[in-house]
Amino acid sequence: MEKVIIDPVTRIEGHLRVEVTLDGGRVKEARTSGTLFRGFEIILKGRDPRDASQITQRVCGVCPIAHATASVFALDQAFGLEDKIPSNARIIRNLILGSNLLQSNILHFYHLAGLDFVDLTRLARYEGENASLRTLREFLAGGNSSPFLPRYEGDYRLGDKANEELASHYLLALEVRRKAHEMLAIFGGKMPHNVGTVAGGVTENPTVDKISSFLWRVNEIRQFIDNVYLGDVMRIVEKYEDYLEMGASGCQFLSYGAFNLDRDAIDKTRGSRLYEQGLADPALKLKALEPERITEQVRNSWYENGTTNRHPSRADTVPSENKSGAYSWLKAPRYDGEPCEVGPLARLMVGYSWGHSPVQNLVEKSLAAMKLKLPALQSCLGRHLARALDAKLVADAMAEWVVELKPGDPVYVPYELPDEAEGMGLSEAPRGSVGHWIRIRRGVIDNYQLVVPTTWNASPRDDSNKPGPMEKALEGIKVKDSRNPLEVVRIIRSFDPCLACAVHFVTPKGRELKIFRIR
């Protein structure tokens, strides 16, 4: 038996540590943990409820918009505005959410996960004419290889041509993701941490110049997705085909649904959306979502066992730092007692199971073009493919939504701050389902709870010792070289983990440094 510890896992958002136990070169057991705690739930207490949409964005600089969105949904509900949000505001919120999804998915594929597959260092021998690549060559030739070297060595399989093209797209994608943020700022004011999405609607009025400037930008990004991004994923798939068979979590898929479409009500269980809401098992049997069935279990987390299996709105966080057998600061969220995988793949699987036509059409068409079958998506590279399709679906829809805006119509409804109220906001971050629950007492925040995508995906074992999706995805994986555990980091990154989100909502008390680590 051999233990491999990866700390920190870089090219993700936040601070993550992974420990795998190898037995005969295969992963016997995997344990993931976050190594930073900021205490957002504690910080939010006692504040003006409206500040939640700004403060919670600072949970994560890569997907602040998902928090802004879930947060304003929770506030709208608490303020009694759910069915009063004007159309313009609904659309602009969708455009802001979509813009950031595009930048996040592109950033993830090219800049965070890409270097696990693409060999930038080989460009030191580049002989072609591409100006960007020549710059890269000069850069490497100057003996300067950071931040691209060192890295895990070994299995980089792309041929020279594909490798060169992907390297040049790594550089091109830096510009494209930046443009997605520029597009977002048209209605969101600035990014990261937009100011447009607020309780009651949005702050920015649509005007024709903004609409057309948005439209042109989204079209440019659509071209990139169609002509570059999707093809690049395919090229990786061709050379790393075995990763279509590795890394399935075997868990059910969960999607809270996102991008409200036809009505101004943002009720979480009615209304039509681009992404449907629900759960689908790996065989794509569909269940409707009943948010009351979400609980958080703590048997293997450092919290009092008495607090286990509660709904987030009634959650209590009582640390029990020396609890034997526990190994994570993450709680284990469960739906009806079962772990769930969330993210682009889950959104597609749930949408597909609904028979929701845009999702089904896109998935079927793309799979046919690649001569792949549906189960192939449930894998390490399948997640990357799903993320690219997710970007395409959203970008194409955005180009239609933006022209539905009506200059001159309202973007905001005024409201009175309630003394006592409760609210729930459910939405989708680029990396999966995000839920916010707020309780207001005496006009200020009394309790605020967040259950975020990476808590679902990187959850530890639960009360009945079922591992979380990421841990399950790693089990049984063959690791060829334990000093260069590429297989492990590839599978972990395919989930696009965001640990900044996941571990910041707990109160470790009196925990000693040496106990803080995961064994």
**Which residues are at the interface with ligand SF4 (CB under 6 A)?**
58, 61, 192
The 24-53 contact track toward other proteins, x by CB under 8 A, reads: -----------xxxxx--xx--xxx-xx--
Residue 126 near residue 164, CB atoms below 8 Å: yes
Which of ligand SF4, other proteins, none does residue 141 bind (CB under 5 to 8 Å by kind)? none
Site for other proteins in 115-154 (CB under 8 A): 115, 120, 132, 135-136, 139, 142, 144, 146-152
Least distance from other proteins to the Cβ atom of residue 507, Å: 7
Which of other proteins, ligand SF4, none does residue 308 bind (CB under 5 to 8 Å by kind)? none
Between 13 and 428, name the residue whose CB sits nearer to ligand SF4: 13
Q: What whole-number distance in Å separates Cα of residue 22 and Cα of residue 36?
A: 26
Between 119 and 276, name the residue whose CB sits nearer to other proteins: 119
Q: What b-and-e string marks burial along 316-335, b requiring 16 or more CB atoms within 10 Å of the CB?
A: ebebbeebeebbbbbbbbbb
Q: What whole-number distance in Å separates Cα of residue 389 and Cα of residue 348?
A: 9
Q: Is the dihedral of CA 466, 431, 204, 206 positive or negative?
A: negative
Between 189 and 192, name the residue whose CB sits nearer to ligand SF4: 192
Between 244 and 503, name the residue whose CB sits nearer to ligand SF4: 503
**62, 218, 363, 434: which one binds other proteins (CB under 8 A):** 62
Between 193 and 310, name the residue whose CB sits nearer to other proteins: 193
Phi-psi region of 54 (alpha: psi -120 to 50; beta: other; left: phi over 0): alpha
When asked if residue 185 is in the footprint of other proteins (CB under 8 A), the reply is yes
Site for other proteins in 204-263 (CB under 8 A): 204-205, 213
Coil, helix or strand at residue 195: coil
DSSP string, 411-480: -B---PPPSSEEEEEEEEETTEEEEEEEEEETTEEEEEEEE-HHHHHT----TT-PPPHHHHHHTT-B-S
Site for other proteins in 102-121 (CB under 8 A): 107, 111-112, 115, 120
Which of other proteins, ligand SF4, none does residue 11 bind (CB under 5 to 8 Å by kind)? other proteins
Least distance from other proteins to the Cβ atom of residue 403, Å: 19
Residue 345 near residue 251, CB atoms below 8 Å: no
When asked if residue 163 is in the footprint of other proteins (CB under 8 A), the reply is no
Q: Is the dihedral of CA 477, 481, 483, 487 positive or negative?
A: negative
Q: What whole-number distance in Å separates Cα of residue 503 and Cα of residue 38?
A: 8
Between 58 and 178, name the residue whose CB sits nearer to ligand SF4: 58
Structure tokens at 407: 């200059």
Pick the stretch among 198-206, 275-283, 305-313, 429-437 that binds other proteins (CB under 8 A). 198-206
Between 274 and 500, name the residue whose CB sits nearer to ligand SF4: 500
Q: What whole-number distance in Å separates Cα of residue 321 and Cα of residue 242?
A: 40
When asked if residue 84 is in the footprint of other proteins (CB under 8 A), the reply is no
